[in-house]
Amino acid sequence: MEAFISLWILLCSVFLLNWQLGWTDGLVCNGYDDQKCKTNPDACRRGLLEFCPPEDTDPACFTFWKETAEGDVVIQKQGCWQKDHACNRSYCANSRTDKIHFCCCTGHHCNQLVRLGDAKPRPHVDQLLDHEFRALNRTGVVWMDAQPVKEDPIVIPATSDLASSEKSVAPSVIQPPAEGTTRSSVEPLALTWSSLTTTLVAVIVLICLLLLLLVGYFAFRFFRRQLLGSDGKKVPYDAESPLMMAPLMAAEYADQDGCVLLKNLALLERKAMGRYGEVWKGRLGEVIVAVKITPATELASWKNEVHIYHNFLMPNPHLYILRFILAGQRAAESRMFLVTEYHPRGSLVDLLKGRTISNEEADTVMCSMMAGLAFLHDSDGKPAIAHRDFKSTNVLIKADGTACIADFGLATSFEADERIGDKHGQVGTRRYMAPELLEGAISLNVVSFLRVDVYACGLVLWEILSRTQLTREEIVGIFRLPLEEELGTSPTNEAVQTAVVHKRLRPSFKPSWRLVPRSAGLCQTIEECWDADPEARPSASCLLNRMRQLSTGQINECDSSCRPSAPSASDEVLVVG
**What is the set of active-site residues?**
389
Q: Cite the DSSP H helix spans in 326-434.
A: 348-354, 359-377
Expressed in angstroms, the distance from the first to the final Cα of the chain is 31
Query: Rg of the Cα trace of the chain?
Result: 45
What's the CA gap between 104 and 81, in Å, rounded? 7
DSSP code, position 468: B
- Nearest CA to 302 out of 408, 415, 425, 413 is that of 408
Q: Cβ-count burial of 401 within 10 angstroms (0-12 exposed, 13-18 middle, 19+ buried)? A: middle
The four Cα atoms 294, 295, 297, 299 give a dihedral, to 10 degrees, of: 40
3-state percent helix, strand, coil for the chain, nearest multiple of 5: 35, 20, 45
Distances (CA, A) of 389 to 108, 166, 431, 494, 565: 79, 93, 10, 19, 23
Query: Could you tell me if 538 and 562 are in contact, meaning their C-beta atoms sit under 8 angstroms apart?
Result: yes
DSSP code, position 418: S
Q: Give 209-215's long-range contacts (Cβ < 8 A, gap of 24+).
A: 209/16, 210/13, 210/16, 213/9, 213/12, 213/13, 214/9
Query: Could you tell me if 294 and 302 are in contact, meaning their C-beta atoms sit under 8 angstroms apart?
Result: yes
Question: Phi first, then psi: what are they for 287, rounded to 5°?
Answer: -105, 130
What's the CA gap between 175 and 125, in Å, rounded? 12
Count of H-run helices and E-run strands, the chain: 14, 22
b/e per residue 127-146 (b: at least 16 CB within 10 A): bbbbbbbbebeeeeeeeeeb
Q: Which helix (H) or strand (E) holds 35?
A: helix 34-39
